[in-house]
Homo-oligomer: A and B are copies of this chain.
Amino acid sequence: MARTVDPEKHEARRLVIIDAALTCFAATGYAGTSTAAICKRAGIGSGTFFHYFPTKQSLLLAILAYGTDETRDWFAVRSEDEDPLSVVEAYLDHTVDEMSDPRLAGFVRAVGAVMGEPDVEAALALDTRVLEEGLEPWIARAQAADQVRADISAHDLTVWLLVVLDGFLARLAVDADFTAAAQQATLRDVVRRMLTP
């Protein structure tokens, strides 16, 4: 017999490539990033690249799946006896924290513009579905506890919360004077005003 595969080393290499791709996609967009650029930044040859990912698109899908898993995990850890509104606000803070990595905002912008690729659109749809299904029960519980207005359905409120959050993140990516640290308090205020009964 012969050489076996070491899953740890394999995963480590994968992460190096993913990290390099994240940087490149955030800087120059998906279509604007060549596989050669990713290889250069990751310090590998193209042979190695395609040994780990069969296509450039599969690399993008791997990154998206990574983010979806993180969202799933975050909600899986919540326990039902937490205060509903606090969980919602904690998720806001969590997301803003994640976006302190300035690459993420650029990456989100880059990925949002990948159009006409069914697999990518499906992955994005799954990502928002996981997010909505994680958030909506807490909004519903907050409604039941009269913490949140009930004249709009829990689903619509969830969507509107994500609308505000998306707009916030998009602005972070574009406007250097608009920083998460300086605007987080206003974000909380805007959301609270939107949800108040």
Identify the A interface with B (CB < 8 A). Answer: 27-32, 106, 109-110, 112-116, 124, 128, 152, 156, 159-160, 162-168, 170-171, 174-175, 178, 186, 190, 193-194, 196
Which residues from B are CB-within-8-Å of A27? 115-116
Which residues from B are CB-within-8-Å of A110? 113, 115
Contacts beyond the supplied A29-B31, A29-B113, A109-B113: 20 A-B pairs with Cβ under 8 Å: A30-B113, A32-B115, A106-B115, A109-B112, A109-B115, A110-B113, A112-B170, A113-B113, A159-B175, A160-B186, A163-B168, A163-B171, A164-B164, A165-B167, A166-B166, A167-B167, A167-B170, A170-B170, A190-B194, A194-B194
Q: How far apart are A148's CB and chain B's nearest CB, in angstroms?
A: 13
A167–B169 alpha-carbon span in the complex (Å): 9
Q: Can you list 9 residue pairs at the A/B interface with Cβ under 8 Å?
A: A29-B115, A112-B113, A159-B178, A163-B170, A167-B168, A170-B170, A190-B194, A193-B194, A194-B194
A112–B115 alpha-carbon span in the complex (Å): 13
> If A171-B163, A190-B194 touch, does A116 touch B32 (CB 8 Å cutoff)?
yes
A175–B132 alpha-carbon span in the complex (Å): 12
CB pair A186 B152 closer than 8 Å: yes
* Beta-carbon nearest neighbor of A170 in chain B: B166
A3–B19 alpha-carbon span in the complex (Å): 59
Which residues from B are CB-within-8-Å of A174? 112, 124, 128
Most buried by B among A32, A167, A168, A196: A167
